[in-house]
Amino acid sequence: MRIRLLLALLACGVVVGVGSTTDVTVLHIQDARTGETTGVERIDPGQEFAIHYIHSFDKTPIHEVYVIRDGKIVQIREEFQYFAIGLEYTERDQERVGNFTVLHMERAFDSFSLRVATYTNQSLVIGDERTPLTDYAERWDTLTFSAERMSYLEYAYYKTTTQA
């Protein structure tokens, strides 16, 4: 019986040890006003993620696409059906793909902030998962997005204690 208990404790120690020393890259989402963590999303190296929303005036879909590189969030493209107010305009580095104009860019940020709007149906898209930004904050609150390395245990803690 003591050997089983000892082996169980040893196994738990190994799991905790590995979890506390294994780092993961996350998209850290915080309330811009309070700094409170409202969500963390694991991002694998080279994996794209996007903010999708509907343009408030033109009512057309827009996708802002990012990757995390060297600890920074890098916007690599913006995809939209039609040019609308507030969108980047350039005749360089763009192409038409299906019904979308794709504007290629390389814009690096330590972090960026985004207000959760009422009528634009904003969501964070990672792979096949789409999460409404209202899962991270109330409408009209501002969220700050940053790239971070954290231990797997810290990630697991935030993942289980934040967002609905």
Residue 1 confidence (pLDDT): 59
Report the SS3 class of residue 136. Answer: coil
Residue 22 confidence (pLDDT): 82
| Residues lower than pLDDT 50 in the chain | 5-7, 9-14, 18-20
Residue 122 confidence (pLDDT): 96
Residue 96 confidence (pLDDT): 82
- The pTM assigned to this predicted structure is 0.82
Residue 164 confidence (pLDDT): 54
Residue 13 confidence (pLDDT): 47
Residue 4 confidence (pLDDT): 62
The gap from C-alpha 152 to its chain's centroid, in whole angstroms, comes to: 17
Cα–Cα distance between 69 and 23 in angstroms, integer? 15
Cα–Cα distance between 37 and 64 in angstroms, integer? 22
DSSP letters for 16-40: HHHHHH-EEEEEEEEETTT--EEEE
